[in-house]
Amino acid sequence: MKDPMLPLRRLARRFRLSPRTRAVVSVGVFGVLIFSVLQLALQFHVMPDANPQLDRHLTQETAAPDGQPQLADTDTRPVGTSFIVWQILIAFLTGTLSALFYERTRQREKLATRLRYERNFALFSNTLVLDRPDAIHHCLPYILDATQCSRVYIFQNYLDTDGRLAMRQTHEACAEGACSQLDNPALQHIVYAEDGFARWEYELARDHMINGVVATFPESERAVLEPQSILSILVIPIWVGKEWGGFVGYDETRQAKQWSADDLNLLRAASQSLGMYLDRKQTEAALKASEEEFRIAFEHANDGICIVDLAGNFSRVNQRMCDLLGYSQTEFTTMSVHDIAHPGDKDLSGHFIERSLAGTTTTGVFEKRYICKDGRTIWGRVSSALAHDQQGKPLHFISHLQDITPVKELVDALTTSESRYRLLADHAADAIWTMDEHQNYTFVSPAFKRLYGYTLKELGKGLPEKLIPAHSRQVIMGHVKKRLASIRAGIPDRSAYRIEVEMQAKDGRRIWVESITTPVFDEQDHYRGVVGVSRDITDRKRAEDALKAGEEKMRLLATLDDLTKLANRRYFLELVKRELDRSHRYSHPFSLIMFDVDHFKHINDTRGHDAGDGVLMALSATVTGTLRVADLCGRFGGEEFVAGLPETGLDEALEVAERLRVVVENTEIELDSGELLRVTVSLGVAELSDASPDLTALLKHADLAMYAAKRNGRNRIEPYTPGMALTEAF
């Protein structure tokens, strides 16, 4: 190997430097300074005469035994002080140039690192901004390339079923040669406080980073990190809005890595970008859910709902609005609120729009008459509100229309003639009642007594507990408090309330009742109580409950095997098709295990079908408890079962199959007769591949492998290999 110092040595020879001076040239600026001090001390103290003499060595280049050139001293002659100064100057200049060259190289490397970070961070940010599907999965490799570490991954915080703060790995990018841990089940449920990471929870929740060599970490943390071959690690918290949502981890498995301050600042910025992205996605999801909730409420509301522009024209109406007034949704889009208003009430909506746009009010509640398409007149209670955009600019009005025609007619009848009211109440099929402002019943119709069994005298003062159960009382009082609050605020709520509550009759029966209550005000606009109309809806409620129960039962019957409670054949195939589509889309592995009980026919023949059913139920419970949460399992028919393993290649699937085989073999099954029985299973495993590219091929190949296991002695596992032929089943 050529001597790297040869050019420097030649330079030293050219300027006739002594061996001591040549040595100084190679040690840089600080060495030159030390050498200079020693030379001056030697000049003025060691040899104080007027003409100090020092040895000067002449050198020439000669050939070494290995053929490489070398320098050799040729003679020694005395020299003066001026030559020493000359040597010091040359050594100083050469050392300085060497130091400058080293610093320039270091700055170039630092600049290259900085440019690599900036380039990858730009790609990282663009990926998040463009919001491509699974953006985090695509942006992590840029961070990996920027940091040049072994792995970059994201852990998400969540509360487990016991309410404990835990973390699980959701994303990962690995350098070439690094072992992926994304499918490591040990990393899918780590409880901070109980699994040795309480320090991480404390630090990360306070926006501190975890950074260092794993060998110096607490033993509880090393127990998880060292099996992953992690030598050093950097963990930076991710904040989603104001919530600590997890962390980004950077680890090194090749050598311990020290992160510079610039690295930490840049990676902290990347973590903040991820947090903002996740916060935006959560906000978008919440907005989408809110929009869907509004759509459902809008379309299925019992009241008419409409959106009206600032000029009073209809922009959108729900079906209930069409049903109330008889116009289609298309017809409504060509009409305004004035077109359907009764001539005597046309100004009500117009005045409200004017006041709202003037800023004097944003909500309004009023009663008005409407002309239906067929010429009928109905009374409606309108609740309107002016909606604004984020800048506070008015957008449109949202109005609710409640048909109060029956109640209005009833109130008018009460006002016109008490006798006519009593006649109506006495002969009405629905229970009619009145209550004063102190929640005391003041009148009940004969239908009320038929419904509940109580007379007015028996009800007493206040809301009777014997009539109204506690849970229904809370619902009723909520409406009462809301109404009283509006009255105290000077904006009395005159709307009719419709509620469904459970009541208790005098004979102990529980009755579901639908009640519509309308407030009563005197001439001075003082609240005097309510008028209510109640009807028995118990049969309807029971029918609704029965329908829900029947629908749930039908759903279970359509998807689950009645005996084992596993997915039935049809539902299992549906689930596996979804997983296979995902595996094909992302080029992820997928495996299938088919297995059945050895000698099951003998069990049925010797112990009866009830014993066979008991074996199948016990086996399904054992399999469910052994497979992973993400795995699929179904009964394929008879004693034959199939398990689908997402994200699992053949080798790992064989390990899962072996675990199943051992657990089943070592499980005692207690039959109804009290007999303890052990069974074994034969298992066949097939992997999604070019040889097994779809569900049909996977099922066929897993079945072939299972029968191969039976032929080869049962209670064993066989992977599918090309060339397997189906022979008669054992």
Please give the pLDDT value at position 501.
Answer: 85
Q: Please state whether beta strands 441-444 and 431-435 pair in parallel, antiparallel, or not at all (unpaired).
A: antiparallel
Same domain, 523 and 627: no
Q: Which of 593, 571, 590 is nearest to 664 (CA)?
A: 593
Same domain, 447 and 386: no
The tally of domains found in the chain comes to 5
Query: Which domain CATH number covers 686?
Result: 3.30.70.270
Please give the pLDDT value at position 65.
Answer: 55
Q: Over 60: is that where the pLDDT of 47 sits? A: no
Q: For residues 36 and 27, is the Cβ–Cβ distance under 8 A?
A: no
CA distance 109 to 115: 10
Domain assignment present for 119:
no
Domain assignment present for 288:
no
Rounded average pLDDT over 156-181: 91
Same domain, 151 and 258: yes
Please give the pLDDT value at position 523.
Answer: 73
Residue 155 — pLDDT band, cuts 50, 70, 90?
very high
Domain assignment present for 419:
no
Please give the pLDDT value at position 94.
Answer: 65
Domain assignment present for 553:
no
Domain assignment present for 293:
no
Which span out of 357-361, 591-595, 635-639 was modeled with the highest average pLDDT?
591-595
Domain assignment present for 289:
no
Amino acid identity, position 48? P
Domain assignment present for 98:
yes
Same domain, 182 and 273: yes
Query: Which domain CATH number covers 361?
Result: 3.30.450.20
Domain assignment present for 482:
yes
Please give the pLDDT value at position 15.
Answer: 47
Residue 407 — pLDDT band, cuts 50, 70, 90?
confident
Which long-range contacts (C-beta less than 8 Å, at least 24 apart) are formed by 57-65?
A: 57/18, 57/19, 58/16, 59/12, 59/13, 60/13, 61/10, 61/13
Residue 67 — pLDDT band, cuts 50, 70, 90?
low
Tell if the pTM clears 0.85, that is, is over it: no
Same domain, 572 and 522: no
What string of H, E and C letters represents the secondary structure of 425-472?
Answer: HHHCCCEEEEECCCCCEEEECHHHHHHHCCCHHHHCCCCCCCCCCHHH
Rounded average pLDDT over 186-197: 92
283, 314, 332 - which closes a domain: 283
Same domain, 150 and 89: no
Same domain, 567 and 708: yes
Please give the pLDDT value at position 174.
Answer: 93
Query: Which domain CATH number covers 175?
Result: 3.30.450.40
Residue 24 — pLDDT band, cuts 50, 70, 90?
very low
What's CA 393's distance to the chain center, in Å? 34
233, 248, 283 - which closes a domain: 283
Which span out of 2-16, 29-43, 677-691 was modeled with the highest average pLDDT?
677-691
Q: Over 70: is that where the pLDDT of 557 sits? A: no
Q: Over 60: is that where the pLDDT of 689 sits? A: yes
What is the torsional sign of CA 155, 158, 160, 162?
positive
Same domain, 396 and 438: no
Please give the pLDDT value at position 122.
Answer: 76
Pairwise pLDDT comparison (486 vs 344), residue with the higher score? 344
Q: Over 90: is that where the pLDDT of 156 sits? A: yes
Same domain, 537 and 591: no
Please give the pLDDT value at position 197.
Answer: 94
233, 254, 283 - which closes a domain: 283
CA distance 723 to 729: 17
Judged by average pLDDT, the poorest of 73-82, 368-377, 481-490, 671-680 is: 73-82
Same domain, 268 and 315: no
Q: For residues 6 and 25, is the Cβ–Cβ distance under 8 A?
A: no
Please give the pLDDT value at position 2.
Answer: 46
Please give the pLDDT value at position 46.
Answer: 43
Q: Over 70: is that where the pLDDT of 608 sits? A: yes
Encode pLDDT of 233-272 as tens digits: 999 999 998 899 999 999 998 888 888 888 888 888 888 8
Same domain, 658 and 632: yes
Residue 699 — pLDDT band, cuts 50, 70, 90?
very high
Please give the pLDDT value at position 25.
Answer: 47
CA distance 230 to 215: 9
Pairwise pLDDT comparison (182 vs 69), residue with the higher score? 182
Of all residues in the chain, the percent with pLDDT exceeding 90 is 29
DSSP three-state, residue 163: coil
CA distance 655 to 631: 14
pLDDT mean across residues, the chain:
81
Structural domain including 386 reads 298-403
Q: Which residues contact 204 (CB under 8 A, 6 or more apart)?
A: 210, 235, 237, 244, 247
Same domain, 571 and 705: yes
Please give the pLDDT value at position 54.
Answer: 42
